[in-house]
């Protein structure tokens, strides 16, 4: 076989070898595809989703509250007086109040739904997936070798196994919910007690409850029937929230 014939036979073999080498290099250097963010990019704690009461509303709420919010947004005129009233076209029918998911939110809902939205607003920062988890004041910080740091004089000392002793239970606190003014109401709702007072309850009204350290939000709201009402919340003898009798008897306080 001459040189020319040998070259003709070798050329396809060399070309095939080049393709195999190129493919091998491509496979070896290919980067894996990016993975999706583990939290689904909602930014909320597990089980919560953005409320979307309006564009840009990323307050994290339960899926049920988000579903109700979407339904309410689809029919913003629902539960409003057809002929207007004291607040013009934004006047709610008896038994309904403004949602107040944000300033200027006049969609009419039940007092319970408004209380849920206000509670979500108060907890907006802590319900984010990226919220920092603070260490309780005074808790011993672990050292690199795993041993607890020395505690201040008089503070509880760690047990032999390295775990701090259980903290003493915090004392109960006293809360007084009040509806001030005069007349009667359709309802009075209080949280955290979860109790509700029915129609034709006379004002002034007062109820005292005890709460534990797990309670972070206090709310009382009355739906006016006759007269004018205000509200007041007292915590351990100190007034922490109040509204004079007038437009709306709604008081709330986030315990720091």
CA–centroid distance for 10 within its chain: 72
Give me the CATH number covering residue 203: 2.60.40.2880
Among residues 122, 139, 165, which one ends one of the domains?
Answer: 122
pLDDT digits (tens, 9 = 90+) for 41-72: 678 988 999 999 999 999 999 999 999 999 99
The total of structural domains in the chain comes to 2
Contact in structure between 210 and 235 (CB atoms under 8 Å): no
Q: Which of 208, 219, 217, 221 is nearest to 174 (CA)?
A: 208
- pLDDT tens track for 202-249: 999 999 999 988 888 999 999 889 999 999 999 999 999 999 998 778
Q: What is the mean pLDDT of residues 186-192?
A: 88
Selected residue with higher pLDDT from 13 and 74: 74
Enter the pTM of the model.
0.43
The answer to whether residue 187 sits within a structural domain is yes
Smallest CA-to-CA distance from 96 within 73, 78, 118, 71 is with 78
pLDDT number for residue 175: 94
In a domain, 162, yes or no: no
- Where in the sequence is the domain holding 103, given as residue range(s)? 48-122
Dmax (CA) for the chain in angstroms is 118
Q: 208 lies in a domain?
A: yes
CB under 8 Å to 164, separation ≥6 — which residues? Answer: 139, 140, 148, 156, 158
Query: Has residue 211 been placed in a domain?
Result: yes
Q: Which two tokens stand for residue 99?
A: 């949602």
In a domain, 35, yes or no: no
Domain assignment present for 114? yes
Tell me which residue has tokens 């007062």.
Answer: 206
Residue 197 falls inside a structural domain:
yes
């Amino acid at each position: 076989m001459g040189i020319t014939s040998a070259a003709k036979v070798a050329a396809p073999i060399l070309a095939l070898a080049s393709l195999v080498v190129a493919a091998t290099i491509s496979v070896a250097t290919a980067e894996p595809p990016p993975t999706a963010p583990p939290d689904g990019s909602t930014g909320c704690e597990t089980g919560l989703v953005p409320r979307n009461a309006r564009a840009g509303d990323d307050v994290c709420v339960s899926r049920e509250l988000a579903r109700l919010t979407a339904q309410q947004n689809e029919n913003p005129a629902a539960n409003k007086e057809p002929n207007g009233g004291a607040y013009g076209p934004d006047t709610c029918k008896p038994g309904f109040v403004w949602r107040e998911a944000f300033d200027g939110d006049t969609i009419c809902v039940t007092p319970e739904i408004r209380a849920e939205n206000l509670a979500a607003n108060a907890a907006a920062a802590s319900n984010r997936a990226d919220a920092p988890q603070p260490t309780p004041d005074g808790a011993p910080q672990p050292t690199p070798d795993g041993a607890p740091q020395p505690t201040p004089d008089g503070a509880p000392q760690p047990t032999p196994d390295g775990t701090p002793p259980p903290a003493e239970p915090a004392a109960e606190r006293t809360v007084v919910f009040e509806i001030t003014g005069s007349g009667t109401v359709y309802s009075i709702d209080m949280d955290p007690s979860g109790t509700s007072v029915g129609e034709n309850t006379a004002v002034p009204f007062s109820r005292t409850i005890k709460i534990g350290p797990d309670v972070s939000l206090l709310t009382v709201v009355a739906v006016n029937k006759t007269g004018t009402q205000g509200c007041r919340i007292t915590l351990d003898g100190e007034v922490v929230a109040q509204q004079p009798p007038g437009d709306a008897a709604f008081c709330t306080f986030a315990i720091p």
